[in-house]
């Protein structure tokens, strides 16, 4: 297996392995690469929906997403799609998935099924590099802080997505979510310090109102995108990306209006997070 970094501080392209047939030793190597680089990209994969599900179960279990439409015959696979006449895409702003769960999903396995002729790239930003780049003053300011995360404002019946042309395809509008996590977590496997707030789902610091929290939160959201902690993936048929939600934020580019894009996503089960 060969690892080629995609950018100085985020992402790795992995070649010389077939995900659908990988050995246990290769699976361990893949996991380690994803924990460290945040996202790993695999090209030219033959990866059927059955392979996708088998891989997710082998990794350690699948968390079915409560909001996205599910694949008809394979209910563990969420369909992330945009029709030619839609304006809004799923995941088209920086975020990390499932931080609103007390035990957030570890990450996702995203498979390109139908791509627009141009555009529709995905970007990731490394939150270990983001933490390292914080000033000593900011590091001291967030030491010991916890934050509250929820998805209700995004998915509820009158939430952000409800006001878009994505509304009709979503589920779970009655759900209530809420979780508290340390602002700086340690990666459960590498021990690296990671900045764990995101502008989509992090609402306020514990013990502070939204208004009190926002100045520091905004500083952290800005600092999380330092410029040299990001990588960008141009999808091709047969591309699979696997990322770690604790280590990264991601952002799906919405620059292919008038074209169809369909991706299949399995969300991998995670573990409780700690400082």
170 part of the interface to ligand SIN, by CB under 6 A: no
Helices (H), the chain: 24-37, 49-59, 127-133, 136-142, 152-155, 210-223
166 part of the interface to ligand SIN, by CB under 6 A: no
DSSP secondary structure letter of residue 62: B
90 part of the interface to ligand SIN, by CB under 6 A: yes
77 part of the interface to ligand SIN, by CB under 6 A: no
38 part of the interface to ligand SIN, by CB under 6 A: no
Among 11, 91, 107, 270, contact with ligand SIN (rule: CB under 6 A): 91
Q: What single string gives the DSSP state of each residue in 113-177?
A: EE--SS---EEEEEHHHHHHHS-HHHHHHHTT-EEEE--HHHHSTTSTGGGSTTGGG---TT---
- Minimum distance from residue 87 beta carbon to ligand SIN (Å): 15
265 part of the interface to ligand SIN, by CB under 6 A: yes
80 part of the interface to ligand SIN, by CB under 6 A: yes
Among 53, 220, 252, 273, contact with ligand SIN (rule: CB under 6 A): 252
DSSP secondary structure letter of residue 269: P
**Distance from C-alpha of 43 to C-alpha of 12, rounded to nearest angstrom:** 12
What tokens appear for 235 in the block?
């999808």
- Minimum distance from residue 63 beta carbon to ligand SIN (Å): 13
264 part of the interface to ligand SIN, by CB under 6 A: no
What tokens appear for 110 in the block?
């995203």
98 part of the interface to ligand SIN, by CB under 6 A: no
122 part of the interface to ligand SIN, by CB under 6 A: yes
200 part of the interface to ligand SIN, by CB under 6 A: no
**For the chain, what is the total number of helices (H) and then of strands (E)?**
6, 16
Exposure letters 136-150 (e unless 16+ CB within 10 A, then b): eebeeebeebebbbb
- Minimum distance from residue 141 beta carbon to ligand SIN (Å): 29
* Nearest CB to ligand SIN, comparing residues 71 and 122: 122
129 part of the interface to ligand SIN, by CB under 6 A: no
115 part of the interface to ligand SIN, by CB under 6 A: no
């Amino acid at each position: 297996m060969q690892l080629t970094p995609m950018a100085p501080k985020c992402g790795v392209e992995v070649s010389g392995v077939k995900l659908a047939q990988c050995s246990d030793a290769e699976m361990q190597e893949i996991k380690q690469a994803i924990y460290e680089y945040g996202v790993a990209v695999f090209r030219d994969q033959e990866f059927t929906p059955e392979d996708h599900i088998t891989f997710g179960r082998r990794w350690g279990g699948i968390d079915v997403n409560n909001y996205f439409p599910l694949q008809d015959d394979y209910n563990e696979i969420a369909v992330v799609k945009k029709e030619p006449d839609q304006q809004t895409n799923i995941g088209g702003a920086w975020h990390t998935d499932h931080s609103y769960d007390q035990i957030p999903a570890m990450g996702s396995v995203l498979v390109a099924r139908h791509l627009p002729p141009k555009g529709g790239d995905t970007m990731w930003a490394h939150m270990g590099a983001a933490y390292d780049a914080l000033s000593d003053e900011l590091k001291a300011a967030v030491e010991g802080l916890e934050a509250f995360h929820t998805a209700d404002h995004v998915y509820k019946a009158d939430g952000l997505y409800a006001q878009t042309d994505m509304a009709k395809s979503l589920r779970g509008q009655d759900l209530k979510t809420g979780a508290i996590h340390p602002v700086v977590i340690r990666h459960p496997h590498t021990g690296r310090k990671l900045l764990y707030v995101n502008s989509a789902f992090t609402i306020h610091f514990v013990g502070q109102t939204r208004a009190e929290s926002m100045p520091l939160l905004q500083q952290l959201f800005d600092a999380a995108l330092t410029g040299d902690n990001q990588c960008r993936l141009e999808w091709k048929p047969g591309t699979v990306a696997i990322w770690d939600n604790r280590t990264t934020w991601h952002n799906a580019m919405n620059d292919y209006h008038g074209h169809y894009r369909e991706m299949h996503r399995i969300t991998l089960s995670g573990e409780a997070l700690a400082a």
